[in-house]
């Protein structure tokens, strides 16, 4: 894709300056490693097994598709993140182009998704640790792992530790994270090498139903439902923490695109190693769809609580299993630590937008939005209630997070018209911007469609509840809220309704097995419907975008807010 330089005079570069109270302690490696540390969380510990069960050996293709989709989405945010290096950018960018209603809609979805990630990572720690601390979790009637009361207490304590580390600011946090990321990269590379050279059976790629035993449906389902899309979400740290990095022009694009490319390569190699190393008898009994339940050592409980460690144990590699059990604390723990801070930055951004209580934007002397941090902890504890385990919660986080990313391509194109002379340190070429934006929004819509109605309907209920909260806030804080600008953001409702209709008519999550949806649209027709919806939403959004004068007014309001005293 072509990249050209911005044409605005230098003085415009700071037109949208961020909150000066935030500390700019993230350098290029610190910011990149924050994203990589977010990406390599619990997804790699469970994703290889879950993807293989849905797609067979073709799960390799699923990881490649997921990586390409998130590179496209990341490219749109690379331009926006260098134009407006603001913490909580995913929630703030729609506010600049489409006003308060659109930004609340996207900010609410973003915050709910982010608030669930740290608890999910804590659950992943507990799920692996159950192998040697069996009192942490048990299996429900459907053989989904759920926390015991003692396990719930341990998880709450771990989440509180994440809050404590974040409270002391990004400099301390970045130092801890850099060390943990080097460990995580070393462990995943070690697993790949050991599986490839210790017990690799190439026949697994052709036998047992062939390379793609469940066809295209299985390949694309795995992107949304196996933890693949979830595993790439960490790229967003380049946007969410852009206001706290020393050189956004260099560091933001490096983080957004580099983190996806680096981890995408590792994930594909890990999936190849997993397919070749999984015990042949586990695949031969009932095929790839039930491979996790047929591990010959330890039974389905062992595979459920730690699939990679289970394979290592079966291969007689006790030392590797021990390292994996240790990493099952470090990898998800590091990601949970990161997302605790990210969740606080999102609600901080909504407070700055004034479509949520302004108290959420209070910052302490360490440059940390402490009220938002406490809120993230309180809401995070909710996810430790006896819900089904890791994989079930991941599907909900996947569709809500991906939906929040969909506004980026629209803001990118709208800003080309609204602020044509704004300095763009990273700029997509004129024609490539349209291509990338369309494909990025299309990818967003596809992933939500592939997630399936059984999960999507819950997302739309949560969105509706968010609008109730917005109405309450507008009533109670009348005169202190941002102008709603509904006529510039109403297209969001068309987008959400279109996704709901396509999902309800579709045949996901499982072909031939529906959870209340009609199954009228097959894979091909669902893709066509998603293309049409993408075109409609893009046209409506660009037609409804705020006029230039209103955009400049909003940006001026944010600059004025920078003079507020530190809480």
Residue 285 CB partners (closer than 8 Å, separation 6+): 294
Query: What's the whole-model pTM score?
Result: 0.81
Q: Give 138's DSSP letter.
A: E
Range ranked top by mean pLDDT from 134-148, 337-351, 460-474 = 460-474
pLDDT of residue 1: 41
List the structure tokens of 327: 């990493």
Residue scoring higher pLDDT (84 or 196) = 196
pLDDT of residue 474: 85
The DSSP 8-state label assigned to residue 27 in this structure reads -
Q: In the numeric block, which tokens belong to residue 331?
A: 């990898």
Report for 280-289, 343-352, 463-472, 552-561: range of highest mean pLDDT: 463-472
CA distance 567 to 365: 8
Q: What is the per-residue pLDDT for 298?
A: 44
Check residue 137 and report its DSSP letter: E
**Cβ atoms of 452 and 88 closer than 8 Å:** no
What pLDDT does 297 receive? Answer: 45
Q: What is the DSSP string of 60-106?
A: HHHHHHHHHHHHHHHHHHHHHHHHS--TTHHHHHHHHHH-HHHHHHH
Q: What are phi and psi of 227, to 5 degrees?
A: 95, 5
Higher pLDDT, 498 or 451: 498
Q: Where are the beta strands (DSSP E) in 432-502?
A: none
Q: Where are the alpha helices (DSSP H) in 477-520?
A: 486-489, 491-505
Backbone angles phi, psi at 176, to 5 degrees: -65, -45
Residue 438 has pLDDT above 70, yes or no: yes
Torsion of CA 128, 134, 135, 137, to 10 degrees: 50
Alpha-carbon distances of 552 from 364, 413, 546, 564, rounded to whole Å: 29, 17, 10, 20
Single out the residue of 429, 530, 513 nearest to residue 5, CA to CA: 429
Residue with the larger pLDDT of the pair 210 and 514: 210
Q: Give the residue with greater pLDDT, 328 vs 153.
A: 153
Per-residue confidence (pLDDT) for residue 503, from 0 to 100: 94
Report the chain's mean pLDDT, rounded to a whole number: 82
What's the rounded mean pLDDT across residues 226-230?
A: 86
Among the residue ranges 176-185, 380-389, 515-524, the one predicted with the least confidence is 380-389
Contact 204, 278 (CB under 8 A): yes
Q: 512: which DSSP letter?
A: T
Alpha carbon 406 to its chain centroid, in Å, reads 12
pLDDT at residue number 564: 47
Q: Which residue has the tokens 């024609």?
A: 431
Q: pLDDT band for position 557 (50/70/90)?
A: confident
Q: Which domains does the chain have, with CATH numbers?
A: 10-561 (1.20.1740.10)
Q: Which residue has the higher pLDDT, 397 or 497?
A: 497
pLDDT, mean of residues 47-76: 93
133, β-bridge pairs? none
**Which of 190-199, 234-243, 475-484, 506-515 is modeled with the greatest confidence?**
190-199
* pLDDT of 547: 94
Which is it for strands 145-147 and 137-139: parallel, antiparallel or unpaired? antiparallel
Quickly tell me which residue has 């429900």 as its tokens.
Answer: 140
Distance of CA 448 to the CA centre of its chain: 13
Q: What is the mean pLDDT of residues 289-307?
A: 60
Supply the pLDDT for residue 514. 56
Are the beta carbons of 429 and 1 closer than 8 angstroms?
Answer: yes
Task: List helix spans (H) across 88-213.
Answer: 89-98, 100-129, 149-167, 170-198
Answer yes or no: are the C-beta atoms of 48 and 274 closer than 8 Å: yes
Contacts of 361 (CB under 8 A, 6+ apart): 19, 348, 349, 351, 352, 369, 371, 372
The Cα 392–Cα 389 span in angstroms is 6
Beta-carbon-side half-sphere exposure of residue 465 (alpha carbons within 13 Å):
8
Cis bond upstream, residue 312 (ω within 30): no
458 or 29, greater pLDDT: 458
pLDDT above 90 as % of the chain: 33
Q: What is the mean pLDDT of residues 221-225?
A: 89
149-169: pLDDT as tens digits? 898 999 999 999 888 887 775
Q: Is the pLDDT of residue 225 over 50?
A: yes
Segment 541-545 shows an average pLDDT of 96
Cα–Cα distance between 466 and 74 in angstroms, integer?
Answer: 26
DSSP labels, 396-413: HHHHHHHHHHTHHHHHHH
The mean per-residue pLDDT over the stretch 132-152 comes to 81
Instruction: Please report which confidence band the pLDDT of residue 337 belongs to, taking 50, 70 and 90 as the band edges.
Output: confident
Q: Give kind and range of the element (H or E) at residue 385.
A: none
State the residue for tokens 């349209």.
434
For 407-434, the pLDDT digits (tens) are: 999 999 999 999 998 888 888 888 899 9
- Predicted confidence at residue 311, as pLDDT, reads 85
pLDDT value of residue 407: 93
User: Cα angle at 268 between 56 and 438, to 5 degrees?
Assistant: 95
Regarding predicted confidence, which is higher, 396 or 220? 220
Phi, psi of 506 (to 5 degrees): -80, 180
Q: Does residue 47 have a pLDDT over 90?
A: no
Count the alpha carbons within 13 Å of 510 in the hemisphere toward its beta carbon: 8
Q: What is the mean pLDDT of residues 61-74?
A: 94
């Amino acid at each position: 894709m072509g990249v050209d330089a911005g044409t605005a005079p230098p003085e415009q570069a700071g037109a949208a300056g961020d909150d000066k109270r935030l500390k700019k302690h993230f350098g290029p490696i610190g910011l990149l490693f924050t994203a990589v540390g977010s990406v390599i969380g619990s997804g790699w510990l469970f994703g290889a097994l879950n993807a293989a069960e849905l797609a067979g050996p073709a799960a390799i293709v699923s990881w490649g598709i997921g990586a390409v989709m998130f590179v496209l989405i990341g490219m749109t945010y690379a331009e926006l993140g260098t134009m407006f290096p603001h913490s909580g950018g995913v929630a703030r960018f729609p506010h600049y182009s489409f006003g308060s209603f659109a930004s609340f809609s996207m900010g609410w979805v973003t915050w709910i998704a982010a608030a669930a990630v740290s608890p999910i990572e804590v659950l992943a720690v507990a799920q692996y640790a159950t192998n040697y601390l069996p009192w942490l979790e048990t299996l429900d009637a459907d053989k989904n792992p759920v926390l015991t009361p003692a396990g719930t207490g341990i998880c709450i304590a771990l989440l509180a530790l994440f809050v404590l580390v974040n409270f002391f600011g990004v400099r301390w946090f970045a130092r801890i994270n850099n060390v943990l990321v080097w460990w995580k990269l070393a462990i995943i590379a070690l697993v790949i090498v050991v599986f490839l050279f210790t017990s690799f059976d190439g026949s697994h790629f052709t036998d047992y139903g062939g390379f793609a035993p469940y066809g295209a449906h299985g390949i694309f389902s795995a992107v949304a439902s196996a933890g693949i899309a979830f595993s790439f979400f960490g790229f967003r740290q380049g946007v969410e923490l852009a206001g706290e990095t020393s050189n956004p022009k260099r560091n933001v694009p490096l983080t957004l695109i580099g983190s996806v490319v680096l981890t995408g390569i590792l994930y594909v190699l890990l999936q190849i190693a997993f397919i070749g190393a999984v015990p042949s008898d586990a695949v031969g009994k009932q095929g790839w769809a039930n491979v996790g339940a047929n591990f010959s050592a330890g039974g389905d409980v062992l595979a459920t609580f730690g699939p990679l460690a289970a394979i290592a144990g079966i291969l007689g590699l006790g030392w590797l299993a021990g390292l994996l059990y240790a990493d099952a604390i470090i990898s998800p723990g590091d990601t949970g630590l990161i997302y605790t801070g990210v969740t606080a930055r999102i609600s901080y951004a909504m407070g700055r937008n004034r479509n949520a209580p302004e108290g959420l934007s209070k910052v302490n002397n360490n440059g940390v939005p402490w009220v938002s941090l406490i809120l993230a902890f309180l809401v995070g504890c909710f996810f430790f209630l006896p819900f089904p385990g890791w994989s079930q919660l991941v599907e909900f986080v996947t569709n809500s997070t991906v939906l929040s990313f969909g506004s980026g391509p629209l803001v990118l194109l709208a800003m080309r018209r609204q602020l044509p002379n704004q300095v763009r340190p990273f700029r997509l070429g004129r024609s490539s911007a349209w291509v990338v934006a369309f494909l990025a929004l299309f990818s967003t819509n596809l992933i939500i469609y592939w997630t399936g109605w059984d999960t999507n309907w819950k997302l739309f209920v949560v969105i509706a509840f968010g609008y109730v909260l917005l109405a309450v806030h507008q009533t109670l804080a009348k005169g202190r809220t941002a102008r709603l600008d509904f006529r510039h953001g109403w297209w969001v409702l068309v987008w959400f309704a279109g996704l709901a209709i396509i999902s309800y008519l579709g045949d996901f999550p499982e072909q031939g097995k529906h959870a209340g949806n009609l199954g009228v649209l097959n894979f091909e027709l669902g893709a066509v419907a998603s293309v049409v919806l993408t075109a409609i939403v893009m046209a409506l959004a660009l037609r409804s975008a705020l006029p230039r004068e209103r955009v400049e007014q909003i940006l001026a309001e944010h600059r004025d807010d920078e003079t507020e005293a530190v809480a």
